[in-house]
Amino acid sequence: MKVVTYINRFYVGVHNYYVEIENRNNNLYEAFCYYLGEFYGVSTRLEYSSQVFATVCYDSDQDLYDYSSEKYKSYLDRDIILRKGEYSDNFVTGKYGYYNKLRIVYVEQSGSIFEIDDLKREIKVINPNPEKCSKEIVLFVRNQLLIEYMEKQGALVLHAAAITNGTGDGALILGQSGDGKTTTLLSAMSNKYYAYSFENTLLFPQNNRSKIYSIPTQIRILPGILLRFQQTQKQVEKKEESGCWTKRNKVTFQWRDIFKLFNLAPKFNDVYLRKIIIVKYDKEIDKLTTKVVDNVDKIRIIDSFVLTMRELEERPRWLGWFYPNIDYKYYDHLDDIDFILIKWSEIDHLNKFFKYDIFNSHIRA
């Protein structure tokens, strides 16, 4: 018989900034460890220098849920988009309104009720079904609290993947849709680099350097890309060419599963930005080409991938507690970061690039 130990209070944070989680009647600790654990701090105690900036309390009591549902239903008279769903064309939506000094949000897909005290920075989540809402609470804490608080401290969110060599050196992978950002990431992993972030990445200026923080998430990959790598071919059930490049056929993975496929264990120290790799797919070329980007073009390139200052439906700021405070400190040391433009048409081209130590080998223009 398995003995379950409930952890009633713990902390989740990035850098030195933490959210306190109060866990009544159920255990959220394992969910936070599973989805964020290797990347963010999940702990039952805090170091002296840590700062708690918000509290989230989860209660799964059925009677409380029934009472709250009846009490708030006449006040939930406005629509709200809460976050992007699992697919590119759907969103998690809800209703909201105000009751006394509380802002009340009802999540239609899960049935969760959020009681938000904006003055005290306290949120209570009520849902009698922990299996339905545990991941939802993790995403809420990650997106609306941790990431936005980091942006308030000067961090940037970029639409970029990130890799590391496991010893502190990091590289961003930038690419427009169709240029092979995901393919490049998997090629790096097949050459024993560690994926650090799959879709979006936090960049935080610190001591004249940029520190990379992951935004851990699931990843959806086209079957055609999976078939290109020996490690992932078996994940594709149907191999008809017509469906391999259709978005609705994408295969969804948790980041842990990708590591297992490439026989890699997560290995993350503090990761600092050393390289930026811009990938460009060009079917007309028959060999890998690399080019060092001039300093005058660096700001233009990286700005096109910054999400922080944009009002995107993909990142609705519905909680609204924190707003970006960007003074673009990362510009100050872009001259010291190598920007490498690589053009490719075959997987072998990418494998050739990652065959060598990209952080110490010389890249010719």
Residue 219: helix, strand or coil by DSSP? strand
Would the pLDDT of 116 be above 70? yes
Would the pLDDT of 356 be above 50? yes
Would the pLDDT of 355 be above 60? yes
Residue-wise pLDDT tens digits, 84-93: 765 555 788 9
Residue 238: per-residue pLDDT: 64
Q: Measured between alpha carbons, how far is residue 18 from residues 25, 182, 284, 310 in Å?
A: 22, 31, 49, 25
Q: How many helices (H) and strands (E) are present in the chain, helices listed first?
A: 9, 20
Residue-wise pLDDT tens digits, 228-246: 999 999 998 765 666 788 8
Which residues of the chain form beta strands (DSSP E)?
9-14, 17-24, 41-43, 51-59, 78-84, 91-99, 102-107, 113-117, 122-126, 156-158, 161-164, 169-174, 194-197, 201-206, 209-214, 219-221, 251-253, 271-281, 289-292, 338-344
Residue 207: per-residue pLDDT: 80
**Mean of the pLDDT values across residues 157-179?**
93
Residue 114: per-residue pLDDT: 98
**CATH domain 157-218+254-355 topology:** Rossmann fold (3.40.50)
Residue 3: per-residue pLDDT: 46
Name the more confident of 360 and 163. 163
Name the more confident of 107 and 332. 107
Residue 281: per-residue pLDDT: 96
pLDDT tier for residue 365 given thresholds of 50, 70 and 90: very low
pLDDT tier for residue 316 given thresholds of 50, 70 and 90: confident
Q: What is the pTM of this model?
A: 0.90
Would the pLDDT of 197 be above 50? yes
Would the pLDDT of 40 be above 60? yes
Would the pLDDT of 102 be above 90? yes
123-127, 226-230, 310-314, range with the lowest pLDDT: 310-314
Residue 56: per-residue pLDDT: 98
Q: Domain ranges in the chain?
A: 9-152, 157-218+254-355
**Mean of the pLDDT values across residues 32-44?**
90
Neighbours of 200 (CB within 10 A): 19
pLDDT tier for residue 137 given thresholds of 50, 70 and 90: very high
What is the distance between the alpha carbons of residues 27 and 330, in angstroms, rounded to a whole number?
A: 39
Would the pLDDT of 313 be above 80? no
Would the pLDDT of 306 be above 90? no
Share of the chain above pLDDT 70, in %: 90
Would the pLDDT of 210 be above 70? yes
Average pLDDT, whole number, for the chain? 88
Residue-wise pLDDT tens digits, 175-196: 999 999 999 999 999 999 999 9
Would the pLDDT of 2 be above 50? no
Residue 329: per-residue pLDDT: 65
What is the distance between the alpha carbons of residues 111 and 289, in angstroms, rounded to a whole number?
A: 52
Residue 325: per-residue pLDDT: 82
Would the pLDDT of 361 be above 70? no
